[in-house]
Amino acid sequence: MSYGDVMNARVRSEERRSEIVGAALEVIAERGYRGASLAAVAERVGLTQQGLLHYFPTKDALLVAVLQERDRWDAVPDTRWRVDLLASLVEYNAMRPAIIQTFSALLGESVTEGHPARSYFTERYVQVRENMTAVLRAEYGDRLPSGLTPERTAPLLIAVMDGLQYQWLLDPDSVDMPGAFRDFLHLLGEPVE
Amino acid sequence: MSYGDVMNARVRSEERRSEIVGAALEVIAERGYRGASLAAVAERVGLTQQGLLHYFPTKDALLVAVLQERDRWDAVPDTRWRVDLLASLVEYNAMRPAIIQTFSALLGESVTEGHPARSYFTERYVQVRENMTAVLRAEYGDRLPSGLTPERTAPLLIAVMDGLQYQWLLDPDSVDMPGAFRDFLHLLGEPVE
DNA sequence: ATTATCTATAGATCTATAGATAATGC
DNA sequence: ATTATCTATAGATCTATAGATAATGC
């Protein structure tokens, strides 16, 4: 059946690409992007390095796919979010160290010159700050209990999430990431449950 | 003069090592540690890569020297610090993006497996959390105005400092790092100046 | 025909070792 | 004698290209 077979081929190819992206996420978590070799990613999916390049013609193309994958899973919180959903997100993150490690390593690398993920992160943070501002405004109006505006609170909230991730990845037993984040929400004026 | 000459030789050697460490800080800021080549560091001080290995026998030995250098400059805040001194530290940091970039890149890399700076950062954060707790306790006693203890506030304070650095390095024009940090101190209960 | 995968390989690197040579300081 | 520095080079990688071969789907 021509149509079905074509579709099967497409699906199979898409699945292969997904597998490769998944392997890339793992290898980047272990070695960072600069330290990740195509051969290591290929080996994890049972391909040669050259076989992998059939799906992603360059190493950067694979990174682009990794970042798109992130956008699919980790949607930037939008206006419909509520502040208490953020606490759930942090709790969820605490259950998936590998993926947090991947993107923490990438964020760290991205501040170096000419890093291929640099503009991705720069633009993402612009977006995340805007959306977080909207979430805070929806919840608190133009002033939080502290007197700060949503605009000035948003970067702090994001900084706490990112900064806690590094402390937690380095020393998970010493850092209660979700608890600390709830403490921060309490500082913002959320009632303690 | 034997004694003087020996001393001069020692001083010259120490100076050379310092120069090399300084060049390494720059190259790491640009490329991260894994991406930094000994040849690039050597070139900056007018040496061959093999000449550099006379001073630091391995790449990891050079990294150790870089981290020790940090401990010399960026003393971990101790008990004598006061909270408002932290605001000055952040202001000072905003004037030296290169060094902040070096250590932000290293921190990011350090969460990957077997990274040679991993234990350095893990131990440093244990220390920094302890000292920050003591600073907060000296300032506020056992409870901050928010009701949080110093122990639970310290990781948040550190997370804000680190997280703001990434946002600021990626997009200095959009992020007022010292202003945001003062906002956070205000959340803790510091009076606004 | 197109897609998936492989072998071979070019051309850059990179770290580190071996050992020579020059300069410095007893 | 020791210290500083160099040339030569081994031995690993790494990305990417070229082109062959096999499998898939018209």
Interface probe for B, chosen from A90, A156, A188 (most Cβ of B below 10 Å), is: A156
Confidence class for position A190, pLDDT limits 50, 70, 90: low
pTM for this prediction: 0.94
DSSP, res A192: P
Pinpoint the alpha helices (H) of B36-176: 38-44, 49-55, 59-73, 83-93, 97-110, 118-140, 150-170
Interface probe for A, chosen from B167, B176, B193 (most Cβ of A below 10 Å), is: B167
What Å value separates CA A66 and C1' C18?
A: 44
| Whole-number pLDDT of residue A3 | 41
d(Cα A102, Cα B19) in Å, to the nearest integer? 34
d(Cα B140, Cα A68) in Å, to the nearest integer? 45
| Whole-number pLDDT of residue B4 | 43
Element (H, E) at A18: helix A2-35
Three-point CA angle A52, A54, A57, nearest 5°: 90
pLDDT digits (tens, 9 = 90+) for A20-47: 999 999 999 999 999 999 999 999 999 9
pLDDT digits (tens, 9 = 90+) for A66-95: 999 998 887 777 778 888 899 999 999 999
Which nucleotide's C1' sits nearest to the alpha carbon of A53?
A: D16
Three-point CA angle A62, A60, A124, nearest 5°: 85
* Structural tokens at position B51: 């000449």
Residue B9 confidence (pLDDT) above 80: no
Residues B35 and B109: beta-carbon distance below 8 Å = no
What Å value separates CA A181 and C1' D11?
A: 49
CB atoms within 10 A of CB B15: 10
pLDDT digits (tens, 9 = 90+) for B58-101: 999 999 999 999 988 877 777 788 888 999 999 999 999 999 99
| Whole-number pLDDT of residue A8 | 67
Residues A69 and A99: beta-carbon distance below 8 Å = no
With a CB-CB cutoff of 8 Å, which residues 117-176 of chain A face chain B?
118, 121-122, 125-126, 129, 146-148, 152-153, 155-156, 158-164, 166-167, 169-171, 174-175
Q: What are phi and psi of A13, to 5 degrees?
A: -65, -40
CB atoms within 10 A of CB A35: 20
Displacement of CA A112 from its chain's centroid (Å):
18
Residue A165 confidence (pLDDT) above 80: yes
Residues B125, B126, B129, B132, CA torsion sign: negative
* Chain B residues closer than 8 Å to A113 by CB: 29-31
| Whole-number pLDDT of residue A80 | 81
CA-nearest residue to B184 within chain A is A156
Distance from CA of B47 to the nearest CA of A (A): 23
